[in-house]
Amino acid sequence: MGRYILRRLIISVPTLMGISLIIFVILALAPGDPLSQFANNPEVPIEVRERVRTSLGLDDPVHVRYVKWVSQLMQGDLGYSFATRSSVTGLILQRLPNTLAILGVAFVIGVALAIPIGILSAVKRYSLFDHSATTIAFIGFSVPSFFTGLVLILIFSVNLRWFPFIYDSTVVVRDLPSLAAQVRQSIMPIAILTLIYAATTMRYVRAEMLENMPQDYVRTARAKGLGSGTVVRRHVLRNSLIPVITLVALGIPNIFTGAVITEQIFSVPGIGHLLILSISTADTPVVMAVTFIFAVLVVVFNLVADVLYAVADPRIRYS
Amino acid sequence: MTADRAALGVALPLARPPRSLWGDAWRQFRSHRLALAGSFVLAVLVLGTLVGPYIYRVPTNDIDFTRVLSGPSLEHPFGTDELGRDILARALQGGRVSIAVGIAAVSVGITLGVLIGAIAGFFARADGPLMRLTDMFISLPDLPLLLLVIMLFRDSLRGLLGPVTGIFVLIVVLIGALNWMGVARLVRAAFLSLKQREFVVAARVVGASDGRLISHHILPNALGPVIVSATIGVGGAIITESALSFLGLGFPPGEPTWGRLLFEAQSHLDTAPHFAIFPGLLISLTVLSINYIGDGLRDALDPRRTP
């Protein structure tokens, strides 16, 4: 197992290199030399500018700049923000926990809802439960998250006044009231993301269950006298979840898209919110770094999915 | 032939008309009620945005400060926005852009996907590198990347092609360039299994060139899943464009796409909920009907599911 994980880790290096190359080429092709804004600032005297340009290596050939950028990246140095003059790594580390917390909770709840609902839908195909579940799932993944978000705000913040619609980042969980405040302000962002994950995952689970149920091995299991609950749990479900893991992994980039939008709607101070903020101030180093961090997260979660796949499917050998 | 059989006394089921692939598909599609309903709703929405502005002749930019953010009324069925402009008229105009972006972006994506998938599936030597490329594109975080490119290239394209055309081309090309991977994989898989089949080998023996084999023999047999994926892709592209506009980074303020309307409505949620609800419903209805059509097409075009 350890060797398998190591092998997968090594395979993801070229992917990350490719992604970093894409981001770098986009910036190199961009008009107006966006990375050297500071070095081109006319208020800075020419000699200082020249020194800054040399120290930043802006006059080096493109491939040299790329190698320098990547080696800095690998040391965790993402440069400095134009807007705040603080280190980009610091800015991201400060906000990443918020994003991961909301994404993680939503993901766990979403999957925990999707698997039982998907199973029940498939087992009781064409029942009232199946029809309502598939319809809700269909709506859940068709209606864009920014509209679901606005509707939730309309219902729960404007009309019912249950939850605040602006996320207050100064809340620190110390006692029961502050915990309650934190929970109340997290419910709506988490609910939107949960709906998306649950809807897509439930459809996959249902489809895979239906694919497996008429198969011969299921009939064999029944024929040897297993109860239908055992057949579904031990035989059908296990085989159905294997492709579901792949499908969920393929949707991981979308998960982060949802996070950017949700953070923006509720002003949750995560990296998605940071991304939009830095775009409005043309803070290129931050935008570039956040884009790259999103790519790293996608690759990492794909890796996790691959490892889970190997755990779930005994046919995969770790050689 | 018929005479021979008649002479032999074989009863032919002549009453049944000949069945074709597309005829079967249509019969199957018709039986999917939600897909039919989706087609109807989508037709109404598309016609509405195309013809609507000629019938509903309220100007889109008529600023009227006496009726700012007023709710739906006979005069303004969808109400008015923060400058007193008619929301229905703006939604009809913006819907054209949203739908056009969806269709154009998917055309770009499908073209790329079919091309890359066909090359990878047909030429074994290109398969490895092209699939690595596909895998890498699948790991790209699309929204952040879209935002990065739009931020960097928006102004220069605006100067080159004008404010609306520039951003239209940019968004369409970008969404297309980030959404071809699924199609490429489908087409490659279909090519790999089809190119060994007897009819393709027969065509090759007769002397058909590679290009002809691809375009006349293999590709038509691989189109089913591509059509389904294109249909659903239009919905996805409309959502992506709306998301960009909703974040304030899509079309300029003069172009009221549905996402842009939601962006403007966001700050008036407490006083004018209608401002957000109507454009949001239009996006949702469009995407929902497109997805139901895609679902129906999948059932209709998948030969395994046809009874």
Q: Which residues of B touch A165 (CB under 8 A)?
A: 269
**Residue A56: predicted pLDDT:** 62
Lowest mean pLDDT across A37-46, A114-123, B47-56, B93-102: A37-46
Closest CA to A83 of A73, A94, A91: A91
CA distance A251 to chain B (A): 9
Binding-site residues on chain B for chain A (CB distance < 8 A): 132, 135-136, 138-145, 147-149, 151-153, 155-156, 235, 239, 242-243, 246-249, 259, 262, 265-266, 269-270, 273, 276-277, 280, 283-284, 287-288, 291-292, 295
Q: Give per-residue pLDDT as tens, A71-100.
A: 887 787 777 777 777 888 888 888 888 888
**Residue B307: predicted pLDDT:** 40
**Residue B306: predicted pLDDT:** 43
Cα gap B284→B103, rounded to integer Å: 16
**Residue B299: predicted pLDDT:** 81
Closest CB from A32, A279, A294 relative to B141: A294
Lowest mean pLDDT across A160-164, B8-12, B144-148: B8-12
Lowest mean pLDDT across A294-298, B18-22, B182-186: B18-22
**pLDDT at residue B303 is higher than 90:** no
**pLDDT at residue B1 is higher than 50:** no
Q: Which one is predicted more confidently, B10 or B207?
A: B207
Q: Which residue has the tokens 């999915």?
A: A305
Cα end-to-end span (Å), chain A: 9
Cα gap A36→A13, rounded to integer Å: 28
Nearest residue on chain A to B280, judged by CA atoms? A147
All structural domains of chain B: 80-300 (1.10.3720.10)
What is the distance, to the nearest Å, from the Cα of residue A306 to the centroid of all Cα atoms in its chain? 16
Closest CB from A147, A154, A260 relative to B144: A260
All structural domains of chain A: 2-74 (no CATH), 95-312 (1.10.3720.10)
**Residue A21: predicted pLDDT:** 87
**pLDDT at residue B90 is higher than 60:** yes
Quick check: A26 and B276 CB within 8 A?
no
Closest CB from B144, B235, B280 relative to A150: B280
In 3-state terms, what secondary structure has residue B17?
Answer: coil
**How many A-B residue pairs are in contact by the CB < 8 A criterion?**
131
Q: What b/e sequence results for B131-158 when a residue is b if at least 16 CB atoms lie within 10 Å of its CB, and e otherwise?
A: beebbbbbbbbbbbbbbbbbbbbbeebb
Q: Which residues of A touch B128 (CB under 8 A)?
A: none
Q: Looking at the complex, does the CB of residue A255 fall below 8 Å from at least one CB of chain B?
A: no
H helix or E strand, kind and range, residue A284: helix A284-312
Q: Give per-residue pLDDT as tens, B126-147.
A: 888 898 888 888 888 888 888 8
The number of residues in chain A equals 319
Mean pLDDT taken over chain B: 83
Q: Which residues of B touch A146 (CB under 8 A)?
A: 242-243, 246, 259, 262
Q: Which residues of B touch A256 (CB under 8 A)?
A: 141, 143-144
Quick check: B284 and A142 CB within 8 A?
yes
**Residue A53: predicted pLDDT:** 66
**pLDDT at residue A180 is higher than 90:** no
Q: Which residue has the tokens 């729960």?
A: A156
Q: Looking at the complex, does the CB of residue A269 fall below 8 Å from at least one CB of chain B?
A: no
pTM for this predicted structure: 0.85
Work out the pLDDT band at B112, boundaries 50, 70, 90: very high
Q: Phi/psi at B269 (nearest 5 deg)?
A: -60, -40
Q: Looking at the complex, does the CB of residue A164 fall below 8 Å from at least one CB of chain B?
A: no
Q: Give per-residue pLDDT as tens, A43-72.
A: 666 776 676 666 666 667 777 878 887 888
Three-state SS sequence of A155-206: HHHHHCCCCCCCCCCCCCCCCHHHHHHHHHHHHHHHHHHHHHHHHHHHHHHH
Q: According to the per-residue pLDDT averaged within each range, which of A32-41, B17-26, B75-84, B230-239 is highest? A: B230-239
Q: Which residues of A touch B269 (CB under 8 A)?
A: 150, 153-154, 158, 165
Work out the pLDDT band at B254, boundaries 50, 70, 90: confident
| Sign, Cα dihedral of A238, A198, B281, B233 | negative
The share of chain A scoring above pLDDT 70, in percent, equals 91
**Residue B115: predicted pLDDT:** 93
Quick check: A144 and B142 CB within 8 A?
no
Closest CB from B135, B246, B287 relative to A146: B246
Helix axes A128-142, B273-301, angle to 10 degrees: 120
Lowest mean pLDDT across A11-25, A52-66, B162-176, B200-214: A52-66
Work out the pLDDT band at A140, boundaries 50, 70, 90: confident
Nearest residue on chain B to A152, judged by CA atoms? B269
Quick check: A146 and B259 CB within 8 A?
yes
Most A CBs within 10 Å: which of B247, B263, B264, as the mutation test of the A interface? B247
Closest CA to B262 of A219, A91, A150, A181: A150
Closest CB from A32, A284, A295 relative to B139: A295
Nearest residue on chain B to A279, judged by CA atoms? B151
Q: Once rounded to an integer, what is the mean pLDDT over residues B218-244?
A: 89
Q: B10: alpha, beta or left, given left = phi > 0 and alpha = psi -120 to 50?
A: beta
Q: Once rounded to an integer, what is the mean pLDDT over residues A313-319?
A: 63
**pLDDT at residue B91 is higher than 70:** yes
Question: A179-183 long-range CB contacts below 8 Å, 24 or more apart?
Answer: none
Closest CB from A30, A254, A280 relative to B153: A30
Work out the pLDDT band at A37, boundaries 50, 70, 90: low
Lowest mean pLDDT across A80-89, A103-112, A290-299: A80-89
